[in-house]
Amino acid sequence: MMPNVVRGERMGGLMVYLTGKGRRNEHTEPHLVAGDSAMMAWHDDNELGRDDALAIARHLDRPRRAHDVEVKGGHVWHCSLSLRAEEGQLTDDKWRELAESFVAKMGFDDAEGTKAPTRWVAVRHGLSSNGNDHVHLVVNLVREDGTKASIHNDHVRAQKACRELEAEHGLQRLEGDERDRASRGYDPAEREADARRRARGKFEGARRAGTEKRTWWGLDTAERNALINAQRRDDEPRWALARTVRACATASADEAEFVRRMRRQGVLVRARYAEGRQDVITGYSVAAKPEPGERPIWYGGGHLARDLTLPRLRAEWPDTAEGAMSAAAEWTAAKRGRRPVSPGREMREPDPALWREVGADLERLREQLRSVPIEDRDTWARVARQTSGAFAAWSARVEETPGPLAATSDALARTAELRRRPVRPERAPKASASGAAMLLISAAKGGRGAVAQAVMLRQLANLAKAIYDMHRADQDARRAAQIERAIRGDLATVSARLPDPGPVGHPDTKAAEVVRTARQAQGGPQRTPGSPVPNRIEPQRPRTATAAGRYGPGAERDHGVER
């Protein structure tokens, strides 16, 4: 169960919205499921209208008005409690139990007679636009006697209360402190803001081109909303950017190469420097190259994902003075829009012999994981990050739009995100999946062809299967189910377009079983109409520039920060 806490001052406006049609007419049959006794006696479970909403708001607001109390930041405490779409729907009675328990755990009740209670209600108005069953709790933070309810650490307390309610009521559990994992979610407001930026950017571009004479605010509300809705994307831009950054980080041998690879992938990058220094980098931000008329939207590494902060990425690279100087030079070149200072292996086609070496490394890693306990979350997070990065690198090379390889990368990436900064274990597996990421993001022909790719797929699928087994053993059913769907669904789409991984008796037969199982889940090799994955998972040759660029003949276009 996911809580989302916000605060404000307009009780009437909030209640009118909750009982209205919603932003996209998604609200149906708004009614109360819980609240103080007076509210439930008056309205029970009757469908609410605007007049009812305003009457409820006046009732809730009465203690604040009577005692003339002001609450810094707003006295209206609003929290939605939401289930995942796959969890189905609860009854009104169950939501009443959950709401009453949640209010008590947050300390908004009378604390068994030791405090004056607050006035609150819980509103239910159908499923969200994404199919999530949910309720909205609205609380007046001014108690009946004029004192203020405590909201200290209310976001943390709300998360803790939800984890307790999940255990008490048998709901599907989110990541908890006991597993130390937590992935970055996507707030509906962030989706709305992304769509609004893109819509307005395109509109302003049309104005500059002379094809549109009106101003953005000169459009009527319905027309503006239509333009915004047209820009909503199924693939959230922040997650797509995180995939690219993770692919580049996994494929890189040091920080300088990481910067060059991001620029090579068309990502805008900028460093955050230590105060008063130009040679000490403490963090970074990235942005996707915007469409004409739009502005870039910058995200810090930690906002993309917990495992993509610069300190966590640096833990995988050599820590040397020379490396720090090289990285600072590349960050500075990106800042000034100049070409890379010291182009490296990212500019060269990998030696085909590396495919065999990387394959052997992946096999060793799979064997070493058999002796890693499930409690060693740092090691499992490291392996998940590398495997996710390898699939992300493959996706970046061959999928024009995010497809099954990207989906598999996303499923594995969630295991890589730990709440705390991981400590590299002393007995961590020496083998690594980073070599696979380097090959997959760099190879112009897919190495030695489709057979080599099939071998690589089964080895990476084996690592995904190992992570799946770890989650099963850890009784983390949700994570295990996500990875299982990736193996049986997304990877089956890819494996159906590649040669058979090998006959019975082949040294890699055990790894091949993962891919065969994925194929069987789809009833054999099938071709999905419209799939972005080509019949042969082989990227095209990179285009060769025919005109002299900004830096002279043969120079690549710089994808660094726009000046």
Give the pLDDT band of residue 267 (cuts 50, 70, 90): very high
* Residue spans of beta strands (DSSP E) within 147-251: none
Residues 129 and 208 in one domain: no
| pLDDT tens per residue across span 60-69 | 999 999 999 8
Residues 358 and 434 in one domain: yes
Q: Which of 46-55, 94-103, 317-326, 554-563 has the lowest mean pLDDT?
A: 554-563
Give the pLDDT band of residue 148 (cuts 50, 70, 90): very high
| pLDDT tens per residue across span 514-540 | 445 444 444 443 333 333 333 344 443
Residues 132 and 220 in one domain: no
Q: Does residue 562 register a pLDDT over 60?
A: no
Residues 213 and 253 in one domain: no
Residues 64 and 202 in one domain: no
Residues 405 and 364 in one domain: yes
Q: Identify which has the larger pLDDT, 273 or 532.
A: 273
Question: What single-letter amino acid sits at 453?
Answer: Q
Q: Does residue 54 register a pLDDT over 90?
A: yes
Token pair recorded at residue 216: 């953005």
Question: What pLDDT score was predicted for residue 202?
Answer: 82
Question: What pLDDT score was predicted for residue 422?
Answer: 57
Q: Using CA atoms, how far apart are residues 411 and 390, in angstroms rounded to an integer?
A: 13
253 to 181, 316, 323: CA distances (angstroms): 26, 8, 10
* Residue 219 belongs to some domain of the structure: yes
Residues contacting residue 494 through CB under 8 Å, at least 6 positions apart: 404, 405, 457, 533, 537
* Residue 530 belongs to some domain of the structure: no
* Residue 536 belongs to some domain of the structure: no
Q: Using CA atoms, how far apart are residues 116 and 106, in angstroms rounded to an integer?
A: 14
Q: Using CA atoms, how far apart are residues 135 and 90, in angstroms rounded to an integer?
A: 10
Give the pLDDT band of residue 506 (cuts 50, 70, 90): very low
Residues 61 and 109 in one domain: yes
Q: Identify which has the larger pLDDT, 139 or 205.
A: 139
Q: Identify which has the larger pLDDT, 276 or 542.
A: 276
Residues contacting residue 220 through CB under 8 Å, at least 6 positions apart: none
Give the pLDDT band of residue 433 (cuts 50, 70, 90): confident
Question: What pLDDT score was predicted for residue 277?
Answer: 86
Question: What pLDDT score was predicted for residue 476?
Answer: 82
Question: What pLDDT score was predicted for residue 196?
Answer: 82
* Residue 561 belongs to some domain of the structure: no
CB-CB contact of 397 with 356 (8 Å): no
Helix (H, G, I), strand (E, B) or coil at 179: coil
* Residue 545 belongs to some domain of the structure: no
* Residue 179 belongs to some domain of the structure: no
Give the pLDDT band of residue 421 (cuts 50, 70, 90): low
Burial 444-463 (b: 16+ CB within 10 A, else e): eebbeebebbbbbbbbbbbb
Percentage above 90 pLDDT, the chain: 35
Give the pLDDT band of residue 279 (cuts 50, 70, 90): confident
Indicate the pTM of the whole model.
Answer: 0.65
Residues 253 and 325 in one domain: yes
Residues 83 and 208 in one domain: no
Give the domain extent around 216.
188-230
| pLDDT tens per residue across span 354-378 | 888 888 889 889 998 898 898 888 8
* Residue 84 belongs to some domain of the structure: yes
Q: Does residue 141 register a pLDDT over 90?
A: yes
Token pair recorded at residue 248: 């580049």
What is the number of domains present in the chain? Answer: 3
* Residue 263 belongs to some domain of the structure: yes
Q: Identify which has the larger pLDDT, 434 or 178.
A: 434
Residues in the chain, total? 563
Q: Specify the long-range contacts of residues 485-489, CB closer than 8 Å, at least 24 apart.
A: 485/411, 486/407, 486/408, 486/411, 486/412, 487/408, 487/461, 487/514, 487/517, 487/518, 488/517, 488/518, 488/521, 488/522, 489/404, 489/518, 489/521, 489/522
Domain CATH for 160: 3.30.930
Q: Mean per-residue pLDDT for 26-47?
A: 85
CB-CB contact of 246 with 267 (8 Å): no
Residues 393 and 286 in one domain: yes
* CA dihedral of 366, 367, 368, 369, whole degrees rounded to 10: 50
Question: What pLDDT score was predicted for residue 284?
Answer: 95
Residues 121 and 247 in one domain: no
Residues 224 and 252 in one domain: no
Q: Using CA atoms, how far apart are residues 221 and 138, in angstroms rounded to an integer?
A: 28
Residue that finishes a domain, picked among 490, 506, 521 = 521
